[in-house]
């Protein structure tokens, strides 16, 4: 006889688990009519010194500036000059042109991997423009717009993608994990959400030194399920760190939708409520709203009013990466049905509506930027591509780790170089 205790007699239903399931799968027609898009002026801009507990509703609403007719209204309107908005549009268009060309380069076998940010350009370009150039950004792997808006060399970005002999990282990072600290861009980490505690630590150090620089960090909504995310928010709340947490809610992780990170239950901005920090939920496809939210949070951090968590409600138009096929797990044409539109087109239409732009200049700029990216690609490829073999000397794998190389690594390096000479000859060098 079994000694396992019998299940007690009860009238209760058996326990069950809930497994999140996206609303639309391949073959379905996407319908986002259940998404509530409030009027532009539905949420008033509070003072930058407001207590977090007084702004709970901002974590559940949607900060907006641009209406769908192209007009900018409401208290969140940052009142940017036409030149400033045109610069924003140019950077967003350049990101899109860069993404398209690097995607094709990967398909041509010139690099192993690439990640596009189509539909999310505002979450990196507009946010970067609202910060000071000496602030430090701790990005995830889809914020190439920060580098582009900061004027970083396209050739150098491509060198890092190709891991060629012009790559100052010497091929030690994955293709899209850029590093440019001189441009306020901390090295991208492939481990999800590790940039969050890094940003908090940097911000705490800045405050401890009596500096005026702040930190900002980005992650996708899926990464909010990581322990590092929550550790970072705890430290930031306890020490009132001058840091901005940006959560890009683009609805999809690699192949799982936002529900697996808790998106069915509440907003991601609501995470701020539990930690006692300021929280904002923003239309991530409205570049002016994105700018305004980041500017508000930056001013708040710079005046010792603490951290802010901002959720950008947007949509990943393309696959997670070149290794991903979104048609295998989501409905076709979802992006076309997304109620918040395309950030590039929304800013274009706004500028046309206010008389600062027109379609002829827009098309001419698109062609100009495509030519600029093409020229940069030709220049970068002079330094090599994936199919050209090794681009860095063998011994570089032992360098830049220790201030003085330990004896056992010196022996390994010498042995490796002897084998190299024996196999390839004394005059071999990488292409």
Residues with a known catalytic role: 316, 320, 329
What residues pair up with 252 in beta bridges, in sequence order?
Answer: 257
Cβ atoms of residues 218 and 243 within 8 Å: no
Integer distance in angstroms from the first to the last C-alpha of the chain? Answer: 74
CB 151 within 8 A of CB 104: no
Residue 222 in tokens:
């899926």
List the Cα angle 375/138/100 in 5-degree steps: 30
Rounded Cα–Cα distance for residues 345 and 343 (Å):
6
Q: Which residues of 319-358 are buried (b: 16+ CB within 10 A; e: fewer)?
A: bbbbebebeebbbeebbeebebbbbbebbbbbbeeeeebe
Task: Please tell me the distance from the alpha carbon of residue 163 to that of residue 28, in angstroms, as a whole number.
Answer: 40
Q: Specify the residue for token string 């401890």.
A: 208
Q: Which of 247, 162, 239, 179 is nearest to 206 (CA)?
A: 239
Token pair, residue 322, equals 């070149």
The dihedral of CA 71, 77, 81, 84: what is its sign?
negative
């Amino acid at each position: 006889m079994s000694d396992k205790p019998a299940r007690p007699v009860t009238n209760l239903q058996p326990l069950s688990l809930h497994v999140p399931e996206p609303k639309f799968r391949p073959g379905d027609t996407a319908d986002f009519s259940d998404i509530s898009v409030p009027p532009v002026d539905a949420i008033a801009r509070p003072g930058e010194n407001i207590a977090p507990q007084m702004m709970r509703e901002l974590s559940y609403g949607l900060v907006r500036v641009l209406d769908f007719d192209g007009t900018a209204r409401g208290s969140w309107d940052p009142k940017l000059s036409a030149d400033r908005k045109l610069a924003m549009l140019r950077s967003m268009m350049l990101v899109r042109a860069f993404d398209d060309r690097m995607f094709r380069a990967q398909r041509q076998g010139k690099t192993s991997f690439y990640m596009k940010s189509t539909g999310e350009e505002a979450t990196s370009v507009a946010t970067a423009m609202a910060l000071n150039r000496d602030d430090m950004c701790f990005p995830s792997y889809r914020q190439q717009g920060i580098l582009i808006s900061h004027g970083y060399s396209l050739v150098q970005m491509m060198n890092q993608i190709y891991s060629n002999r012009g790559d100052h990282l010497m091929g030690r990072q994955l293709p899209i994990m850029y590093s440019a600290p001189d441009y306020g861009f901390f090295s991208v980490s492939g481990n999800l959400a590790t940039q969050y505690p890094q940003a908090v630590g940097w911000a705490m150090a800045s405050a401890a030194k009596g500096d005026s620089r702040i930190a900002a960090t980005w992650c996708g909504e899926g990464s909010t399920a990581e322990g590092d995310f929550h550790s970072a928010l705890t430290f930031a709340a306890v020490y009132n760190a001058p840091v901005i947490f940006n959560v890009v809610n683009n609805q999809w992780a690699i192949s799982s939708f936002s529900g697996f990170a808790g998106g069915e239950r509440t907003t991601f901005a609501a995470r701020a409520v539990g930690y006692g920090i300021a929280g904002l939920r923003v239309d991530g496809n409205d570049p002016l709203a994105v700018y305004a939210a980041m500017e508000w949070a930056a001013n708040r951090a710079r005046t010792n009013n603490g951290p802010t968590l901002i959720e950008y409600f947007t949509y990943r138009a393309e696959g997670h990466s070149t290794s991903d096929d979104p048609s295998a797990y989501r409905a076709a044409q979802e992006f076309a049905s997304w109620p918040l539109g395309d950030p590039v087109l929304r800013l274009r239409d706004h500028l046309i509506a206010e008389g600062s732009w027109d379609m002829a200049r827009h098309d001419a700029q698109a062609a100009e930027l495509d030519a600029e990216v093409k020229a940069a690609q030709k220049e970068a490829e002079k330094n090599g591509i994936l199919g050209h073999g090794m681009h860095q000397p063998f011994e570089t794998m032992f360098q830049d780790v220790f201030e003085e190389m330990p004896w056992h690594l010196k022996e390994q390096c010498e042995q490796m170089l002897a084998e190299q000479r024996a196999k390839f000859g004394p005059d071999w060098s990488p292409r």
